[in-house]
Structure 1
Amino acid sequence: MRGCLVLENGQKFYGQLLMDEPAVGEVVFNTGMTGYEETFTDPSYAGQIITMTYPLIGNYGTLKDIQQADRPYAAGFILSELCDRPSNWQNEGTLASFIMTHRIPCLYGVDTRAITRAIRSHGVMKGVIVPEHMADADVQSLLATPLETLLVKQVTPKSVRKMGDGRFHVAVMDFGAKANILKSLVKNDCRLTVFPAYTKAEEVLAVNPDGIFLSNGPGDPQDLPEVIAEVKKLIGKKPIFGICLGHQLLGLSVGAKSRKLAFGHRGANHPVKDVKTGRVYITSQNHGYVIDEATLPSDAIVTHVNLHDNTLEGFAYPKYNFFCVQYHPEASPGPTDNLYLFEQFVSMMEGK
C-alpha cells in the first residue's frame, strides 16, 4: 500500500506502508549505519517517528538478545530500503516481521535523506504517517493531535526488580533504561535494585545502596518536576552516576537550565572531547535536549563537550560526589572506549 509522511509544515514524502495504521509523533533522524534493532527498541524514542538516514536497513535481520526493551516504544519508522533477505548467522527473522509483530507503523521506499535535510533546515517537528488515500481533513486532524509529554510514564517499570549478584549494590532509577546499561553495571560487579521513575527518595535510600544510577529516558526533562524533587533529595547522600536523561535531571536538580536542540543528536558517530585529557571519543547519542553549560553552578566541573556544536556532554560535581554524561557509553561505538565510565562509578563507590 502506498503511504505518505506529512510534516506539520506541509511537506510530504511518499513511500510504501507495511500496515495501514497511522502514526503521529515528533519526526527525528538517526545517522547510525548499524544498530537499527537497538535503536528501534530504545525506550528513549517513545513518541517519536524515527527516520534512518543510512539507506539499507534490515540487512542482518533481528536478534532478541540485542533488543533494549521488551518492545519498541517509538511511534513509527521511516526507511529508505527495507531488506527482506537478511544475511547473518545470528538472524532470527526479518525486520519487517519484527515491525509488523509489534504493530509499529512503518513507511519505506522513501527518500530519507530529503526528510533529514528538511529536519536540519526547519528543526524537528510533528508529523504523521498515513495511507496515501487518507482525506486531507483526516490528516489535518491527526496533525492537530497533541503529542504526549509524560513519556517516562510509558516506559518506566511498574514495580521494583533485582538484577545481578555483584559486590556493589546500586539503586537504579529507571526512566526507560536501555538493557545494555543495566548489563554493563552488572558486568562491573554490581547488583541492582531497579526502581520505577516516580519512586520517593526515601524508598531508594532505605535499601542502603553503595551508589545510585539515573538512567536514560524519553522526553523533556522539565516535564518531570516530581522526579527532579526526589533527585534533589538523593544528591550528596550516595555516589551518583547519570546517563542521558539522568544527566539532564542532575543538571536541573543543581539549578542549571535545559534547552531543546534544533534537531538533536541521534546516531553512533558523534565526537566528544574529554576536557581534562583532550582525548576525543566516538560516542552513541540519542537526545533532543541539553543542559546549558553557562547555567551550571560555578563549582561544577565540565568534563566532556560535543565537537559538532560544543554543547555540554558531561559534568561532575565533586562536592556532591556525582558525575554524569549526555551520551551512551554502553552502546560501545568505539567499541570499548567509553566503558571506563562504569569503572569510574565503581571507584567512587569504593571511596577512591
Structure 2
Amino acid sequence: MDAYVALEGGHVVAARGRAPGTSRGELVFTTAYTGYEESLTDPSYEEQVLTFSYPLIGNYGVREDRFESDRVHPRAVVARELTDDVAEWLADEGVPAVDHIDTRDLVTDIREGGAMKCGIAVGDDVTEEDALAELEACKAMSEHEDIGAQVSVAEPTVHEGDPDGTYADADVALVDCGAKGSIVDSLVARGADVHVLPYDATESDVAAVDPDLLFISNGPGDPANFEAAEELVDTLVGEVPIAGICLGQQVVARALGGTTEKMDFGHRGVNQPVRDLKTNRVVMTTQNHGYTVGDPGDVLDVTQINVNDDTPEGLDSDELGVITRQYHPEANPGPNDSLDFFDDVLGLTESRTTAAPADD
C-alpha cells in the first residue's frame, strides 16, 4: 500500500502503508519502547496521531489483557517498523498506520516545531493530495470542545472493590474524562467501590454516590473544555477530598484559581523524571499530556516538579484534602515507583469512612 503523511506547513512524507484509511490529528511522539498496547488504547491520545520513537513496535505481540480501554484511540499510527501483529490489529480497528519512515527526523521536527497538525492517507491508490486534504481539515486540539464525549462513559457504572482491601469502606466518584482502566483497577484493588461518572456529571450525580473521594481522571485535549468537571471541583472542594491524575490535575488547578497552558511537544513516555520537593527523591514516571499547569494559584502547593523542565508534577493542599499528579502513578506501561499515590489519596477518606454515626 502507498502512504503519505502531510505535515503542518505543507511538507509531505512518503511511507509504507500497513493499515488502510485516511485520517488526521495532532502529530505527537512517545519515547516509550515497551507498552505499545497500553499507549494505543489510552484515551488521552484521542484526536492525535501517535509516532513511536522506538524503532520496532510489536515485538511481543498483542494481548487484550494489557488494553487500557475497549479500542485504539490515536487517529493514526506512525513507526519506523510495525510488526504484522500490530498492523493487523490496527487494520481491524480501522486505524490507518504507516512505517518505513525516518521517525528520528520526524521526532526532531516535533521537538523543534512543536506538536503539529497532520493528515495521513494509506491505500492502494492514495495520493499526496489525499493526505493534504486531511491536513486541511485538521483542527487544533483546543477546538475539540466536546472531546470528553468521545472517551467517557455514557452512563454511570460501578466497579466493586476488593472486600479484603485496606479501603473496603470507601466510595470513590470517578469523573471519567477519558480514564485509563488501570486507574480504576488500582482503586478497586485497594478495596474502594469506584462509581465511574460521565465527564459532564453534575453535582446531583455526585451527591447520589455520596462519595468519600472525588477523583478527576486523565483525558485528552485542552482542560479548558472540561468545564463540568471544573465546576464540580469548585463546588465540592473542602466538602469531600479530591484527587486528580494528568488532565485531572489541570482541571483541579483551574477550578482552584490556577491556569493551564499548552506545551510545545508535551511529555509522552515512561522515563520522565519527577522530583519530590519535600524528600528530594526522584522517581521515574509514565506520562502522556500536551498541556500543563502554568500558575497553580494561591490554594495549591507545588510538591513535585519535572526534573527536565520544572513543570508542576504534583499539587497538594493538606487543608482542603487535595492531592493531584500530572503523571500516571498507575503506570501501565511504565515504572511502578509511584503506586503509593493511591494509598495516599484513599487515606484521605479515612476520616469519613470511620466517622461515628450521628446520635438520633
**TM-score, normalised relative to structure 1:** 0.93
Determine helix, strand or coil for the equivalent of 2:65: helix
Match of 1:113 among 104, 109, 114: 104
Deviation at 1:39, TM superposition (A): 0.2
After superposition, give the CA deviation of every residue in 1:27-77 in whole Å (9 maximum; x if it has no partner): 000000100000000000000000000001000001111100000121000
The structure-2 alpha-carbon separation of the partners of 1:20 and 1:300, relative to structure 1 and needing over 3 Å to count, comes to: closer
Deviation at 1:333, TM superposition (A): 6.2
Q: Distance in 2 between matches of 1:69 and 1:334?
A: 17
Q: Distance in 1 between matches of 2:151 and 2:117?
A: 21
1:161 matched to 2:161? The reply is: no
The answer on whether the counterparts of 1:283 and 1:333 sit within 8 Å (CA) in structure 2 is no
Determine helix, strand or coil for the equivalent of 1:331: coil
Aligned residue type for 1:140: L
Q: Distance in 1 between matches of 2:232 and 2:136?
A: 34
The answer on whether the counterparts of 1:174 and 1:196 sit within 8 Å (CA) in structure 2 is yes
2:357 corresponds in structure 1 to: none
The structure-2 alpha-carbon separation of the partners of 1:139 and 1:62, relative to structure 1 and needing over 3 Å to count, comes to: closer
2:116 corresponds in structure 1 to: 125
1:312 corresponds in structure 2 to: 312
After superposition, give the CA deviation of every residue in 1:124-145 in whole Å (9 maximum; x if it has no partner): 1100111486455544332221
Aligned residue type for 1:337: D
* Worse-matched range after superposition: 180-189 or 198-207: 198-207
Runs (5+) with no aligned partner, structure 1: 85-93
Percent identical pairs in the alignment equals: 38
The answer on whether the counterparts of 2:175 and 2:229 sit within 8 Å (CA) in structure 1 is no
2:147 corresponds in structure 1 to: 151
The answer on whether the counterparts of 2:20 and 2:97 sit within 8 Å (CA) in structure 1 is no
2:328 corresponds in structure 1 to: 328
Q: Distance in 1 between matches of 2:150 and 2:326?
A: 22
Deviation at 1:110, TM superposition (A): 1.1
Deviation at 1:298, TM superposition (A): 2.9
Runs (5+) with no aligned partner, structure 2: 162-167, 353-360
Q: Distance in 1 between matches of 2:129 and 2:334?
A: 48
Q: Distance in 2 between matches of 1:120 and 1:201?
A: 41
Q: Distance in 2 between matches of 1:284 and 1:83?
A: 24
Aligned residue type for 2:105: A
1:14 corresponds in structure 2 to: 14
Deviation at 1:225, TM superposition (A): 2.4
Q: Distance in 2 between matches of 1:332 and 1:275?
A: 25
1:262 corresponds in structure 2 to: 264
Determine helix, strand or coil for the equivalent of 1:320: coil
The structure-2 alpha-carbon separation of the partners of 1:113 and 1:241, relative to structure 1 and needing over 3 Å to count, comes to: same
1:34-49 matches, within 5 Å, as 34-49=34-49
Aligned residue type for 1:163: H
Determine helix, strand or coil for the equivalent of 2:343: helix
Aligned residue type for 1:120: R
Q: Distance in 1 between matches of 2:62 and 2:300?
A: 42
1:90 corresponds in structure 2 to: none
Aligned residue type for 2:350: E
Aligned residue type for 1:239: P
1:87 corresponds in structure 2 to: none
Q: Distance in 2 between matches of 1:275 and 1:250?
A: 20
Instruction: Give the CA RMSD over aligned residues.
Output: 1.7
After superposition, give the CA deviation of every residue in 1:294-345 in whole Å (9 maximum; x if it has no partner): x223342111100111111111122321110000000166633101100001
Work out the number of aligned pairs and report it: 341
1:1-352 matches, within 5 Å, as 1-84=1-84, 94-131=85-122, 134-135=126-127, 137-147=129-139, 149=144, 150-165=146-161, 166-292=168-294, 295-331=295-331, 335-351=335-351
Aligned residue type for 2:345: F
Deviation at 1:211, TM superposition (A): 1.0
The answer on whether the counterparts of 1:43 and 1:177 sit within 8 Å (CA) in structure 2 is yes
Q: Distance in 2 between matches of 1:177 and 1:299?
A: 26
Aligned residue type for 1:68: E
Q: Distance in 1 between matches of 2:128 and 2:80?
A: 25
Deviation at 1:210, TM superposition (A): 1.2
Q: Distance in 2 between matches of 1:18 and 1:45?
A: 20
Deviation at 1:224, TM superposition (A): 2.2
Q: Distance in 2 between matches of 1:80 and 1:188?
A: 40
Aligned residue type for 1:142: E
The answer on whether the counterparts of 2:214 and 2:241 sit within 8 Å (CA) in structure 1 is yes
The structure-2 alpha-carbon separation of the partners of 1:80 and 1:137, relative to structure 1 and needing over 3 Å to count, comes to: closer
Q: Distance in 2 between matches of 1:191 and 1:268?
A: 28
**TM-score, normalised relative to structure 2:** 0.91
The answer on whether the counterparts of 2:37 and 2:62 sit within 8 Å (CA) in structure 1 is yes
Determine helix, strand or coil for the equivalent of 2:29: strand
